[in-house]
Amino acid sequence: MRGGPLVVVGDTLLDVDLHGTVGRVAPDAPVPVVDCQRERHRAGGAGLAAVLAAGLCTGLGGADVVLITALGQDRFGAKLRDLLGRHVQVIPLPLDGGTPCKIRVHAAGQPVVRLDAGDGRARPGQAGPQAERALRQASAVLMADYGRGVAAHPALATALSRLAATRPVVWDPHPAGGRPLPGSRLVTPSRSEARGFAAALTDGDGSDGAGTGLAGAARDAAALSRAWGSAVAVTLGEGGALLHTGEAVPLLAPAEAIAGPHDSCGAGDCFAAAAAQVLRSGGLLSEAVTEAVRRATDFVRQGGASASPGATIPPEASPVRAIPPPDAGDDAGAWRMVAEVRARGGRIVATGGCFDLLHAGHVGLLREARRLGDCLVVCLNSDASVRALKGPARPLVPAEDRARILAALECVDAVVVFGEPTPAAVLERLRPDVWVKGGDYAPDDLTEAPVVRRHGGEVVLLPYLIRHSTTDLVAAAQRKVAS
């Protein structure tokens, strides 16, 4: 990690949560009367991202954080100075107009209404020596653009342009904001934001629904990556995040399931803050996005930005299969199940491999792959195919047993054995909506990818658990025997 601070630059607003109960309707209008019992103030926008980077995303070295933002000389601005000063160093810029404030009224845990106030925008002019010095010393920059002028500040833009050549810049965009800084290491739009930005590239407004689903997110991410010259991580809510770095195959970082109702407010800020901290520490883009998904998921699980202290989440219910899985080795049953899932409009996910000595890396990959659709089909290399790929000493476990072990996993719905060196032929028949491989594969290794795409499917890589491989397990066993 470089010695300088993480500098967060962007627009800050004040969020106010009013919590109460409703016991009656107003006599003068047909509206509920909310008896407010608790009031909570917190920083929003860039302020929330800075606070999360400094403390809530623990374990990533987040204590040294500087926030450059515009604050008004009003009561909302004064409240923000107090809230932010407890967590980060604040370098304020002048604000023309009132400090933005969003007041959310909740009754019995449900939102009732939101009231917005303050139209302030950052005042153009000199950023000041303190802000310029902070940027020169920065180890990384997180730009939280909410379209209120800080990201477009001319003096800051000049300093950031010089900085981007040597320091990671993470840009969290907003529909009301501007184009990300050229040279940004990572841009983190939400799914809807990515759709709007991509549509704008072709003079559309994004309202036609084009580009929906995982394949649509991948197309939008690729288009934005080309247009912006940056890696793009499209956040997909409960689906995790899809990272496009210019390679032919994007990386999907899945999120763990969260049971019960939850508030995702602030998840995007947490994602961007965590990604910036990982890149600041010298991490890879894949590591940054994977860790950011994990941190954002934990943040939402704990209740999000507006959660009440001590809120609990009910335990997750056991998954229910709508269609009984076929027996291992029952290829006919596997194809029937696939046909039934497709007939009802379900999403077919497939992955493939030798799976010789099933280990934790395999299980993790299969569990995450299953969450991408309505059924998971494993395309399993036959014994002859494994020998051709791995040598005459493999497989260690025959195909019949490997198929039986895989089919016993809750996350696997069917196993289909193929005898060719690659699964291209079986994929011609299967036509999966999503073809998944582990992140230890290089995109050029996926010779079957054109087959999947020709039938309208999407190819994604999932993060792979390091230090888990059959080859390593065999070598370790041989060392033990030898000793």
Catalytic amino acids?
A: 269
Residue 59 burial by CB count (10 A; 0-12/13-18/19+): exposed, middle or buried?
A: exposed
Q: What are the contacts of 338-342 at 24+ separation with CB within 8 A?
A: 338/375, 338/377, 338/414, 338/430, 341/374, 341/375
Nearest to 461 by CA among 273, 240, 264: 240
CA torsion angle 22 26 30 31 (round to 10): -40
C-alpha distances in angstroms, 283 versus 247, 277, 390? 18, 9, 32
In sequence order, what are the beta bridge partners of 242? 234, 252
Report residue 355: phi and psi, to 5°. Answer: 50, 45
Encoding tokens for residue 116? 């917005």
> Amino acid identity, residue 448?
E
Q: At what angle do helices 129-137 and 154-163 cross, to 10 degrees?
A: 20
Is residue 186 within 8 A of residue 285, CB to CB? The reply is yes
Encoding tokens for residue 27? 């006599």
